[in-house]
């Protein structure tokens, strides 16, 4: 087993929901059946844009190379943008299954609800300093939310280091 295989195995553990969908719909097959191809294209987009995998690593989930993923991403973007009924009907079951993501790291719980192309609702649970919560407006960009968590992490580390 090579290091690439080890990395792929770790990514598959972290993305078990995607692996389950790939297996359920047999998306590693070489078929060119439209529904199968469309589902692959949709998952290429999820893995590269939402889960931040490279096109090479995304392709390895399906037994494809990076150029196949790039082609699929372009196709997905086209069909999704024009809201093609055939495409959307084929990928809708996967889209609905992945619409809500739940992440728990032992300290915080994060529930992510994708409301559309431009808006995502994020529910964060955990023990927060009330001063952090006061800073939160009703809407935040990804960068604003990241900044708050980085500041919270710094403050928390300084509190722990002062107490030790």
| Nearest residue to 142 via CA among 77, 53, 50, 73 | 50
**What does pLDDT average to in each consecutive run of 10 residues of the chain (164 residues)?**
82 86 94 95 94 93 96 96 93 80 64 65 70 68 71 48 38
Contact predicate 99/114, CB 8 Å: yes
pLDDT at residue 163, as a whole number: 39
pLDDT at residue 86, as a whole number: 93
pLDDT at residue 139, as a whole number: 74
pTM tops 0.75, yes or no: no
pLDDT at residue 97, as a whole number: 77
Neighbours of 32 (CB within 10 A): 7
Terminus-to-terminus CA distance in the chain, angstroms? 43
């Amino acid at each position: 087993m090579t290091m690439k295989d080890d990395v792929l195995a770790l990514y598959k553990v972290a993305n078990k929901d995607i692996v389950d969908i790939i297996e359920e719909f047999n998306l590693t097959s070489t078929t060119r059946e439209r529904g199968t191809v469309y589902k692959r294209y949709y998952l290429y987009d999820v893995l590269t844009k939402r889960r931040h995998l490279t096109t090479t690593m995304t392709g390895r989930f399906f037994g494809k190379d990076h150029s196949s993923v790039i082609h699929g991403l372009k196709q997905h973007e086209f069909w999704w943008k024009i809201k093609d009924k055939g495409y959307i009907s084929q990928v809708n079951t996967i889209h609905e299954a992945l619409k809500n993501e739940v992440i728990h790291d032992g300290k915080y719980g994060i529930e992510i609800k994708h409301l559309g192309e431009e808006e995502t609702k994020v529910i964060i649970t955990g023990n927060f300093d009330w001063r952090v919560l006061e800073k939160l407006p009703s809407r935040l960009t990804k960068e604003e939310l990241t900044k708050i968590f980085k500041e919270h992490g710094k403050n928390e580390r300084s509190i722990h280091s002062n107490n030790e």
